[in-house]
Amino acid sequence: MAKKESTSPSNFIKNIVEEDIRAGKHNGRIHTRFPPEPNGYLHIGHAKAICLNFDLAAEYKGLCNLRFDDTNPTKEETKYVEAIKEDIHWLGFDWDDRLYYASDYFKILYEYALKLIEKGKAYVCDLSPDKIREYRGTLTESGKNSPYRNRTVEENLELFEKMKNGKFENGKCVLRAKIDMSSPNMNMRDPIMYRILHTKHHRTGDKWCIYPSYDFTHGQSDSIEKITHSLCDLGFEGHRPLYNWFIENLEIFPSRQIEFARLNLSYTVLSKRKLRELVEGNFVSGWDDPRMPTLSGLRKRGFTQKSIRDFCERIGMAKAESLVDIALLEHCLREDLNKRAQRVMAVLNPLKIIIDNYPEGKTEELDAVNNPEDASMGMRKVPFSKEIFIEQNDFMEEPPKKFWRLSPGKEVRLRYAYFIKCEKVVKDAAGNVVEVHCTYDPKTKGGNAPDGRKVKATLHWVSAKQAINAEVRQYDRLFSVENPLAEQDDFKEYLNSDSLKILTNCKLEPSLENAKSDTQYQFERLGYFLIDSKDSSNKKLVFNRTVTLRDTWARIQKAQKSDKK
RNA sequence: UGGGUCGUCGCCAAGCGGCAAGGCACAGGGUUUUGGUCCCUGCAUUCGGAGGUUCGAAUCCUCCCGACCCAGCCA
């Protein structure tokens, strides 16, 4: 009997959904939404929420809306909504015609407010912000009622009308829900529903000068859209009673809020505010700096949407606060890139090799495989000649234990070319190795010795005459500590000073002259690279290093170093 | 000192009374013209702690310990 099954792992949200379906709730209908505020760029933490909402809906044959939560005109801008839409599409999700804005509901929300006032459940309060805070009490002490709490319905209606009509300046008064100033839940101590903001809104312009608060908007928006499961992060747990209170008192469709733990990733920060600090302080080149955990940054760096989605699935979904190892993200990335990246040879830190017994002026075109994981990607030709470049760290005059690469008297293979043997080292006055003379064995063409002798190492190389120059930007982790926010000092003190190294004298095989900006390359033995979408040109090629290959030798070296200590 | 939530391997995370899934990381070994990939193997007698209920508990009960969130006219 064939067994199928490839459903993603179970989690507490799916359990709830399945229970609801079993119980026939909403006739088994599942409808979610992703509700970003257009006040910044999306990062990989948002990707977790996006995948959760869209994938959950898809798995249960439901729908997922995109809704901009735009109730604070002082912080929101159209440019962010465009960027957010682009990022979600890039991840491969689509909301069809279900693009909504909380601001679409301003009129209904206003009517909802009227309804609550009429039911005696809301009132206009003239207390100043300071007084409101004072009256709210503390975590352990009950608050006290506002002196304006018992205004009549008529009076409230009239004042709220005036608020709407711009009769008051900012901060003069607010509309509050009349709940319970002694509630142990601070959110229930007569929360603010509307505040006065004489600010132009990115969509409604000057139409309104009062704006609803998050609490008076979110649940109702969910309700209006008939959202069945409203997923948000743990920070809103304490708001759930209020979310339900508005829905119950308004007697509208009962969406259900469920909270999950937000993503934390090691060696970076995932908070709009903190990321903004990095951008505004010029610690990075912008929101799309390849070191940023923003979706635009990851994209520019060369991350694939598939790897991010895979990551979001593998980290699971729970309520325990956690710090996910960035190594898992890198693993997902390498796994995807390994299957699809076009292999090429590139030398980042060139060392000149002269093959003394190779004919002067001769050039051979050697066959190279484009992707050993995918035969359909075919073959290409790579030129070979007397002078070539290899990586500086592939040669050591005095090799340590386990170093199998080139060193005096040693023989190695040049990938797809020949075996070469190191004969002589040339140094400059300062003692630096400037070039290395080798001899080659003509019988090893293609990389195999007819006599069956083996070499331990295979090196990548680029023919000097045909090499093209390029700049390569090597990116690394943004921070030098796992959890920068857990440190005593300001998190910016822990930025990794080596997170970007720019190499300007890199040598690439000639096929890269026509490198495409949307093609992922593997520079053999080094890592995965992508053309920089902004700075690369025909005149000057610029590649970004997405991620290195796993490097066993580097780990051995590290171990050897720490052994000596 | 109020309220809410969480605590299963180094990092995530299944498990929902029948005797600890999986992934990452790590450690060994095999294959290999990338020290890559791939393939094997190992990696929690134990589920924050202590009691209790039960033939049987990570799963139920009690108490304790620890961590996080809430006092914006932000979301």
Instruction: Write the CATH number for A301.
Output: 2.40.240.10
Reduced to 3 states, what is the DSSP secondary structure of residue A28?
A: helix
Domain boundary at A466, A485, A502, which?
A466
Please report whether residue A265 resides in a domain: no
Is the same domain home to A278 and A421?
A: no
Is the same domain home to A488 and A441?
A: no
In this prediction, residue A15 carries a pLDDT of 97
Q: Which two three-digit tokens encode residue A299? A: 């994209």
Query: For this structure, is A37 an active site residue?
Result: yes
Is the same domain home to A85 and A148?
A: yes
Starting at the edge strand found earlier in the chain, the sheet holding A419-427 runs A458-459, A411-414, A419-427, A433-440, A350-355, A387-391, A462-463
Please report whether residue A6 resides in a domain: no
Q: CB-hemisphere CA count at 13 Å for A153? A: 9
CA of A11 to C1' of B60 (A): 22
Is the same domain home to A462 and A355?
A: yes
Entry pTM: 0.96
| Enclosing domain of residue A349 | 344-466
Nearest nt (C1') from A444 Cα: B33
Nearest nt (C1') from A125 Cα: B73
In this prediction, residue A564 carries a pLDDT of 64
Please report whether residue A266 resides in a domain: no
Residue A402 Cβ under 7 A from any strand B atom: yes
Residue A525 Cβ under 7 A from any strand B atom: yes
Residue A479 DSSP code: B
What is chain A's length?
Answer: 565
Is the same domain home to A490 and A459?
A: no
Question: Torsion over CA of A106, A195, A247 and A138, rounded to 10 degrees?
Answer: 160
Is the same domain home to A324 and A394?
A: no
CA of A170 to C1' of B46 (A): 60
Domain boundary at A449, A466, A483, which?
A466
Query: For this structure, is A272 an active site residue?
Result: yes
Query: For this structure, is A415 an active site residue?
Result: no
| Closest among A298, A235, A292, A295 to A267, alpha carbons compared | A292
What is the rounded distance in angstroms from the CA atom of residue A432 to the CA atom of residue A426?
A: 8
CA gyration radius, chain A? 31
Q: Which of A115, A144, A172, A262 is catalytic?
A: A262
For chain A, what percentages of helix, strand and coil (3-state, to nearest 5) are there?
Answer: 35, 25, 45
Please report whether residue A442 resides in a domain: yes
Is the same domain home to A47 and A102?
A: yes
In this prediction, residue A7 carries a pLDDT of 65
What is the rounded distance in angstroms from the CA atom of residue A252 to the CA atom of residue A267?
A: 44
Reduced to 3 states, what is the DSSP secondary structure of residue A354?
A: strand
Residue A16 DSSP code: H
Print the SS3 string covering A258-327.
EEECCCCECCCCCCHHHHHHHHHCCCCCCCCCCCCCEHHHHHHHCCCHHHHHHHHHHCCCCCCCCCECHH
Q: What is the ipTM of this complex?
A: 0.97
Is the same domain home to A168 and A87?
A: yes
Which residue gives the smallest C-alpha to C1' distance to B68? A321
What is the rounded distance in angstroms from the CA atom of residue A491 to the CA atom of residue A484?
A: 5
The residue ranges of DSSP E strands in A335-440, in sequence order, are 342-344, 346-347, 350-355, 364-369, 379-384, 387-391, 411-414, 419-427, 433-440
Is the same domain home to A413 and A302?
A: no
Please report whether residue A390 resides in a domain: yes
Residue A555 Cβ under 7 A from any strand B atom: yes
In this prediction, residue A5 carries a pLDDT of 38
Residue at A326: amino acid letter: I
Please report whether residue A76 resides in a domain: yes
Domain boundary at A466, A498, A524, which?
A466
Question: Torsion over CA of A414, A419, A423 and A427, rounded to 10 degrees?
Answer: 0
Query: Per-residue pLDDT for chain A (565 aa), expressed as one digit of tens each?
Result: 223 334 678 999 999 999 999 999 999 999 999 999 999 999 999 999 999 999 999 999 999 999 999 999 999 999 999 999 999 999 999 999 999 999 999 999 999 999 999 999 999 999 999 999 999 999 999 999 999 999 999 999 999 999 999 999 999 999 999 999 999 999 999 999 999 999 999 999 999 999 999 999 999 999 999 999 999 999 999 999 999 999 999 999 999 999 999 999 999 999 999 999 999 999 999 999 999 999 999 999 999 999 999 999 999 999 999 999 999 999 999 999 999 999 999 999 999 999 999 999 999 999 999 999 999 999 999 999 999 999 999 999 999 999 999 999 999 999 999 999 999 999 999 999 999 999 999 999 999 999 999 999 999 999 999 999 999 999 999 999 999 999 989 999 999 999 999 999 999 999 999 999 999 999 999 999 999 999 999 999 999 999 999 999 999 998 888 776 5
Is the same domain home to A436 and A306?
A: no
CATH number, domain containing residue A102 = 3.40.50.620
Is the same domain home to A109 and A62?
A: yes
| Closest among A335, A171, A250, A233 to A13, alpha carbons compared | A233
Residue A239 DSSP code: G
For A286, residues 6+ apart whose C-beta sits below 8 A from its C-beta are A279
In this prediction, residue A562 carries a pLDDT of 74
In this prediction, residue A9 carries a pLDDT of 85
Please report whether residue A267 resides in a domain: no
What is the rounded distance in angstroms from the CA atom of residue A260 to the CA atom of residue A430?
A: 60
Domain count, chain A: 3
Please report whether residue A160 resides in a domain: yes
Is the same domain home to A364 and A498?
A: no
